[in-house]
Amino acid sequence: MGPGLRGVLLGLVEVYQRQECWEDAIACLERLQRLEPHDLVVKLSLAELLLDAHPDEKNVCRKVVRLADGIENETPVHTALLLYKARALRGLGLLEAARDTLTSALRRKKGRSEDLLRAIRYERALVYEDLGQRRRARSEFEKLYAEAPDYLDLVKWLGV
């Protein structure tokens, strides 16, 4: 990346994140997103930071859903953005839409990291739990545990 406003803003985002100055980092990403509205990496970074900083705020969830509007599962960046869209949909209580988004995100596995695929499957298990489909959720958690027993809080969910 050469010198310029984009490089400066991305550098500031990194600095603000290391300092845990979330609002400043968000402001930089929002400015960058206004300058480059179709840049998927910027959208993904903004969605991630917004949900990390304000996971329970409905306005933030709506914003993340808008960031991912029209996104199809074409590349790993698209897939990751679909994960954040699903998290936002779950935050809005739109559980079936979240489940469908996650299922769509899992249709393409080639070129996707195991970590990303696990995160999607974990999120889908949480959605199943919220939908009252406990058996399906447990099945997902068990499969994840068989692959990666130390992944997040699977031990809590499974009681092992």
Q: Which domains does the chain have, with CATH numbers?
A: 72-158 (1.25.40)
pLDDT digits (tens, 9 = 90+) for 63-115: 999 999 999 999 999 999 999 999 999 999 999 999 999 999 999 999 999 99
pLDDT attached to residue 2:
60
Per-residue pLDDT band for 9 (boundaries 50, 70, 90) equals confident
Res. 7 pLDDT band, cuts 50 70 90:
confident
Is a pLDDT exceeding 90 seen at residue 131? yes
**Residue 4 zone, left/alpha/beta (φ > 0; ψ -120 to 50; rest):** left
Q: Which segments of 36-160 does DSSP mark as H helices, in order? A: 40-53, 58-67, 76-91, 95-105, 114-130, 134-147, 154-158
CB 85 within 8 A of CB 71: yes
